[in-house]
Structures are given as structure tokens and as C-alpha cells.
Structure 1
């Protein structure tokens, strides 16, 4: 039997925020994968090493977690007033599909640096030293992201002293603004309510804030589901029954938000919505061993991604947290003490994160103009990624 040799595809492996992924320029992909569809999905699955029943991604570039089974495709923007089009694919670890339903906020921090380094930004807009503003069109959700990328001697500066909880080493700070972050064209609150009664079979009726901002997110109170809000990954991810309850909550929240038409559809939409639980501040020890004092944070938040508790916080979920905190009466706002807020610092399993948001009530509807946070990004490896030649159709 003759086996097709491997094919080589130019790629860059980057960390952005507390995630990392494989980045491609659209026109570097094989022709069959330059358009949405089965060929593209097959390619990205093989690059990451999915589906992997062993849950290790040994035969691919993934890291077998929701934070590391990520792919990005970038191209010069087709949108007026933008530099780069950013398409994000969340690759399932144990199932053969790629979820294109939402953005990755963490990897958003790496898009600007990649775009500059790969000629996707007009060089006349890049200073010799200073900050380059990169205007990103987030193609999954049709939204604008503004990245402020530090430049030294005409090159992207990656090293620095900015520390981000959830990332071991410091790097250069990249400020990102998520403009008009309400997901899609719908309302920030798809049910029209700041707090809903969410009926979840086998769990009960939970108070929930269902919000579309950054990424569709379901917030519930920690104490309503038997938690304190100070849990670490092992407390949740090693409890199969707990993970099943969270998935049930997520599925019924997705249905109530109008994201799916039938509960069965949730299984093939793992990336969105997210489910998170909140609590007032309390002292706890982060996964790094560092003590987080109640007086240093406004609230506690724990969020699940792709069926597991995230080791820190998804960037898009941080946008949802900032937005909800800025709107009096949501569960997030109430956990932070209530009242008017333009920013919060919340505690997550790896430490803390500050996020700001600007919210206004216009004609009875809440609108958010932007959410802002700082991340960092760094190239880990660049060159070519290889996949077996039979991955794509002949």
C-alpha cells in the first residue's frame, strides 16, 4: 500500500493571554482549506491531533485542554477601516468537529502582533518605537477589536515586565478593546431580563444572568449550586457528576438564550455559551500557591470552557464579566456589591484580572460601547506544521 507523504503548511505557534494556538495566514493554507467546509475542518483537526480518545493530543499541536486546542486563520481585512480579518476555530478534543460559533478573547491579544509581523498591516501605520494600533475584524461574531501593540525598533516587542495571572512568565503588555461587544445582532440580554429563573432538570430552578457580550455566558450564584466560588480546577474537573450538572445547566441556558432550538444541539456547540458561577469576595489560595485576599478583589468568578473548569479566565468571558458588572442588578454586579461600576477586579483559579466596561441604558435597553483589558502575547515557534497527505481530498 502506498501512503501519501506529509504536506507542510506555514504556521506560527503563539501564546495569547492564557491560551495558545496555531496561527495561519489564509493564503498559506492548501487551496481546499482556504474556504469554510469539511476540508478546512479536517485539516485543523489533524493539526491539533483531534479527535483523541486518549485526551492527550500526542499526535498533534494541541495541548488537550480548551485553552490549547485552538486555531486561528488571518488575512488582510475585507472590511472598511480594518487591518485584519480574524477567524477563530475551537477544536474539540475528543470529537471530530471544529466549533466556529464564537471568539477567543485571549488569542485576540496575539492577532495584532502576528498581523504586523506577517505584513497584514500597512507598514506606514507602524511606528519605529511606540504603540501600533491594529484594527481587527472578528469574523466569527462580526465585531471590532482594537489592539495596542508595543513596537521597538520597528518590530513587535514581545518581552516585558507585564504579569498576567495564569501565565508563568512576564511579557509585553497588549491592551485590547472589544468594541460593541454584544454578541451578534441580538440584545445583550436575550430574554430581556437581568436575572431569569432557569429551570434545569435534575438541578432545580436557578437564578441566572444570561448575557451576550464578548461571548454568550450563563452566570449563576455559586452557593445555589453548592460552591463557594473559590474552587480550583481539581475541585470541579475531577468530579464527573459536577461536570454533567454544569453541562445540563449550559444546555438549558443555551436553549433559553435562543442559541439552540433543541437540547440535543448543545453537544455540537461546545464553545458557546459558557457557564460560570459567581460569589462575593473571600480569601483563597490560587493554583500557583499565591494567596488572593478578599480585600484585593471585587468578586469571585469561576468559568467552564469545553466542559471543564478553566485554569484562569477566558478573555471573552472576562468581557461578559465586565459588562455584567457594569449593569446594576445582574448576578455579577450583585456579587461585586452592586451599584454603578466601570471596572472590576475578579478572582479566578490562577489569580486576579481587571476588566473595564462602559454601559449605558438607552430607551430601556442596555448598551455597552466597549470592554477593555490587558493581555500579553509571544511567539513560541514558527515555521511549518506537517499533516499526513491524505488529510485533504486529492
Structure 2
């Protein structure tokens, strides 16, 4: 026992908060609370976050960590007071791979974006003078991964974040307080909304041939394909896709081809190390279906159907950033998303908002599109989410889990 104590370092304690944001969960850290070696980007930070979440795990269960063995629950967030006078908080998101030893920093998590504002208010990252006793505080967030602004409206009661409420979000079991979130100028980085310049491209997909795709860069780079072109109807739930290895391989092949065409990778082999982006989704006109909760979704109540994959698996609901991409693509006439949302399939309707059906239910999102000097521009995309603290305190990891 004493020999073991001398040879194996004790666990260290790191202040952390476990939060739900939208239909995702993640471990939130203040940058200043991380060990010094992990306060800067690099190997030490990645190793620390991998160990916190419980990756890489060949069993794909993340039993020895905080992850929940799905892309929606294998997430980390690092927050700090913003270095910009125009923002309150700097928000860095890390998508942790489940069975591989890497953290993907290439994009944002739209769902956890809803939890950033409440965390910032509760943890002293927003000027106390701006927080009302009762009301709403607007939190301006700088999304570090994609270098964009997010504006969150956080409800406050008695000077504290209001977490409880009656706002219901399909994919989340219990109601909570509504948090409207606006993604400003959501084209990722400085890139064009349509990297190829086309509303619809044709991808040469091995085993499929030429496949129509809308390649859009809004919220998060996303590859949209038509469900019917792949033999689907858009009402599929997780078991229909995630239980079919051939289907998963096909979607990954399409995603990789889309990434190459969008200029996100230089060689097709690089796609395996960039799982977080781009996303891939398939769309279809509205139809009746039964959601995973047993709720009946009527085609008359939605504008289109969308199913999206994240980190190689069909998502149980919809990623927040992909919802931004859906809103943006729906607002632009002639994209596959806009065509699916137009019941006569003529693509003849400009849409400032759509309600789409996903495996867990439906979601309404809005976006305003403008054509400026031949290029499409999205001023902002808006949706409502909710967020809640699940646990706060410290996480523990072995002291030799990262390079100090």
C-alpha cells in the first residue's frame, strides 16, 4: 500500500460545473481554474479534457469519466472574461471523441451555447452592474472556435439566474426557463456561406455515384442531402441508422466528400481526424411520424423533416449549430433544405423561419437572408433553448493524466 502511494500520484481536484444546454450536456470550466499547463491550447489541455470525459474508451461507454457515451454528452466548455470590450465572455468548445484520443476544436456547439450565458452570469463573468434584480440580462458571447458573436438573453429572478420554467424543448424531458439565443453573422469564420458558390453541388460518392448536396457554412459547416436520393423518407429514428453499419459508412463517405469539396480538408484521409465538422444531414418534405418519445408529429404542423449525424451517429434530436444551418439554408431559395420545405417542391418561397421535424420532435428556427453583391449573407439566426446546472463542485483526475 505504501509503495503504491509512493509510485502513483494522487488525484487532483479541478473546479467544474456539469450543465445541460439544449439537448446536450457538458463539463464547464473557468479558464482560470484549470491547471496552468492546460490554460493554453495544446497537448496538456487535450489530455486533461480526455481524462475528465473518460476517453479514449475502446468500450465506447466512458464509464471512467464524465462523458455519456454519445456525441451529445461528450463535450467540454472553457470560459473566461472576454478580452474584447464588445463581449462579456469568451467561449471555447471542445468536442471529445469517445473511442479516439483527440479533442476536436473545429466548431461550436449550438446547444451548449444556451448554457454559456447562465454560467457566465452565475460565475462572475458578467459585470454585476448589468444584472437586474428581476428581468433579463443580455450576455454577449465571443465564440472562440468560429470567431463569431452569440447573444443570449438570460432570465434573472432575485439577482440569480432563473433556471426553472414552463418552456418545453423536444428532446429534453422536463421544462425549464426559456433562453433565446441569436447567432450573429453565423457563417463559420471568414468563409462564404456557400464555399463552392453553388446552392446545390454534385458529389461523386463511391458506391453511389453523383449525389446532390447543399454545402453550407452557417452555424457549422453542414452537408445536406435529399433523403429520397439515399432511399430514406426522413422519418427515421436512431435505431434505423445507428444499427446499420453500412448506412453509417455511407454517411461518413458522403461527409468526407463534402468536407473535401468545401475546402475543410486537403485530402480525403483527413476527414477521420475532423469528425465534429462538417455535419451531415438528410432532408425530406413534411410527413406524419412518431417521435422517439411516442409523441405524434403531424406533417401539417411542420415545414420539413431533417435528420442529422454527429460524430458518426444519428443525433437523437438536433444539434443547435445544425439548426442554424437549417434556418439559413431554408431562407435561401433553391437549396435542398428550401426545396424540402416548399410543399410543391418548386422552391419558390422565401422563408424567414421554419419548423422542422427531428427524431425527438420539432423545433422552430429563424434566419434572415440577403443577397449582397452576388453573395448570400445571414445577419443572424435565432432559436430558443433552455439550460440548467446539473452538478457543480470539482472533477477529479489522476495527477499524471496530462503533461504539466
TM-score past 0.5 threshold: yes
Matches within 5 A, 1:303-342: 303-337=308-342, 338=347, 339-342=349-352
CA drift at 1:80:
2.6
CA distance in 1 between counterparts of 2:307 and 2:281 reads 5
The secondary structure found in structure 2 opposite 1:67 is: helix
Match of 1:8 in 2: 13
- Which residue among 373, 380, 387 is the counterpart of 1:363? 373
1:18 equivalent to 2:42? Answer: no
Per-residue CA deviation, residues 10-30 of structure 1 (Å, 9 max, x unaligned), is 000000000000000000000
User: Is contact 2:9–2:400 with CA below 8 Å preserved after alignment?
Assistant: yes
The secondary structure found in structure 1 opposite 2:306 is: strand
Per-residue CA deviation, residues 207-244 of structure 1 (Å, 9 max, x unaligned), is 10000000000000000001000000000000001000
Per-residue CA deviation, residues 40-59 of structure 1 (Å, 9 max, x unaligned), is 00000000000011111100
The secondary structure found in structure 1 opposite 2:325 is: helix
- Return 5+ residue gaps in structure 1 as ranges: none
User: Is contact 2:43–2:403 with CA below 8 Å preserved after alignment?
Assistant: no
- Which residue among 119, 123, 126 is the counterpart of 1:118? 123
User: Normalising by the residue count of structure 2, what TM-score does the alignment of the two structures yield?
Assistant: 0.97
CA drift at 1:79:
1.7
Q: Give the number of equivalent residue pairs.
A: 394
CA distance in 2 between counterparts of 1:26 and 1:364 reads 41
Per-residue CA deviation, residues 266-315 of structure 1 (Å, 9 max, x unaligned), is 00000000000000000000000000000000000000000000000000
Runs of at least 4 residues off by over 4 Å? none
1:213 equivalent to 2:218? Answer: yes
CA distance in 1 between counterparts of 2:325 and 2:208 reads 24
- Across the aligned residues of Structure 1 and Structure 2, the Cα RMSD in angstroms comes to 0.6
Matches within 5 A, 1:1-394: 1=4, 2-337=7-342, 338=347, 339-394=349-404
CA drift at 1:128:
0.6
CA drift at 1:186:
1.1
**Please, which moves more after superposition, 76-85 or 297-306?**
76-85
The secondary structure found in structure 1 opposite 2:378 is: strand
CA drift at 1:202:
1.3
User: Normalising by the residue count of structure 1, what TM-score does the alignment of the two structures yield?
Assistant: 0.99
CA distance in 2 between counterparts of 1:206 and 1:281 reads 21
CA drift at 1:184:
1.1
